[in-house]
Structure 1
Amino acid sequence: MSFFSSARTRLQSLAIFIVNSRVGNLTHENPLTFRFFSYPKHNLYTTSVLPGSSHSLYKGTHGFPHRQVLQQPTLLLSLKRSLFLQSQPTPNPDSVKFLPGREVVPNEASVDFPNAQSAQISPLAKRLFRIEGISSVFLGPDFVTVTKREDVSWSVLRPEIFEAILEFYSSEEPVLLGSLPESDTTIRPEDDEVVAMIKELLETRIKPAVAEDGGNILYRGYNPDTGIVDLELQGSCTTCSSSVVTLKSGVENMLMHYIPEVKGVREVISEERQKMEQVSREQLQSLEQRLRDSGVLRS
């Protein structure tokens, strides 16, 4: 081996040692994951995004991380434990489920924020609504579902959402201000046997399955004369094109199978979401009218 080859080998070994001692033992992470590497004085987090993009993270053949995006070291002195934040797709292409690896809403509860005005009771939701392009936020027991506008790309939003969630958990602010509302499936003294069975089935079988996709289903009433159960969709289910299939093929079939008195289900939309949809329609109509007046759009 020549002198230069030997020197190059020693330099490579030294460089590998320095890199590994500085950034830790980097491994190939989940491509939809943000990972904190804990150190005594600060937390350095690395990011990796969708496969095929220029921001994927993996370890090279010589121990050097290639195409690695190392964010500036972030001082999170109040965050005593490292945070493992993941994102998962949902059946709704406009909704993504984020899992911080810790409790979000206590007592296995959930809260829906269909717009920024409704988010005043949640510092976490308020942070997320500051990001341009987010249309709604849903907080579950251990996840956060964010729904975007159709005209915005996840490649733009995802890093901002990650940063907002990480900053929130470093702030030690409460997720919610005030007490939680009563659960929709709480069995009350005035509930008859059928209503109690509907609520029990929703709570134990249906809600956990829907939560896997970043959504929720609320009980809104039962008509004993028609056998129809009124349900409200939240989270990723709200604007999902497959929500009708979820209600009819999934929820309706299960309720009718276990409770013969149930003859069907019907989706109801909250008053706040109806107002939001009305505003969206009016804004769209106003835009179309301006385009027609300017000659860009023809009738």
Structure 2
Amino acid sequence: MSGGATALDRGRAAVEEVVGLLDLATVEPADATVTTGRLVPVAGVFSGRGTARGTTRRYGGLIAAQALTAAAHTVRPGRPVHSLHAYFTRPGDSRRPVTYLVETLRDGPSMSTRRVVAIQRDTPIFFLTASFHDPGTGLAHERPAPKVPPPEEVPTLARLLADAPDRLAAVEQMLFAFDARYIGPPPGEQADGERAGEAYRRAWVRVAGKLPDDVSLHAGALVLISDLPLLLSAMVAGHGTAWGPGDLGVSIDHTVWFHRPCRADEWLLYDCDSPWAATGRGLATGRLYARNGDLVATVAQEGLLLTRPAR
């Protein structure tokens, strides 16, 4: 098979996977078995499928993306999401579907707020609050994008990790439907001369194929992207060395502010850093820029940093 055919096939598979993961089934409330300790009036009940990729622990970005998609289904068309705040309270099983209960907290003249509870095996595992806003006019400013090489001049992961096929396979498993080109060292390694506590990561990221023209779909895909490399910066900063095979970063919470619509299937520059890590936790922040330099989203995440001491 030619390289072009392989890339085309991967692009089609990527689109099918992203669209399939964010294509939620509507569930009748009477069919949703829920144990929350109280009667919750819901605006909608939806079910999202899992994925057989990776470990049985459900990928946090997928839960957040599906929860946002569920919330968006209950908001009038033309009112895009501008922020989400989420907490991961229990690990999810990637092999099983998740039920999403959406509550209407507010529908105002220009803003809507939704609360989503993700439930698996009758147990809440995740909570999200999302706010939607009719775009208006007013003051405007934004942090400029850092000056970096364009994606065409950045090595592919296959080239960057050519001498480490096991690591390449693990990273590709993590990225699944996405292309990522890391500017600098491979994921989980420090740049030469970089000191502990100064770590940042920059990468060009996109869905590996062309998605349909659906604003909510691209917002959900952006949430998937936003969770991919973020905690790496905190892990590497705390180590001062390469991220070891026994180390693990587990998301506690995740926040995304959406500044303007974007296409998740076009190159986005993800500029990540970690301002703090201690007491077994680390904070990572990131900014996503369109190729033309527009700031499209800001992300923040705190996670548990589980590391094995060096021997």
TM range (shorter): under 0.3
Which is richer in helix? 1
Between 1 and 2, higher relative CO (CA 8 Å, sep ≥ 6) is seen in 2
Question: Highest CA radius of gyration, 1 or 2?
Answer: 1
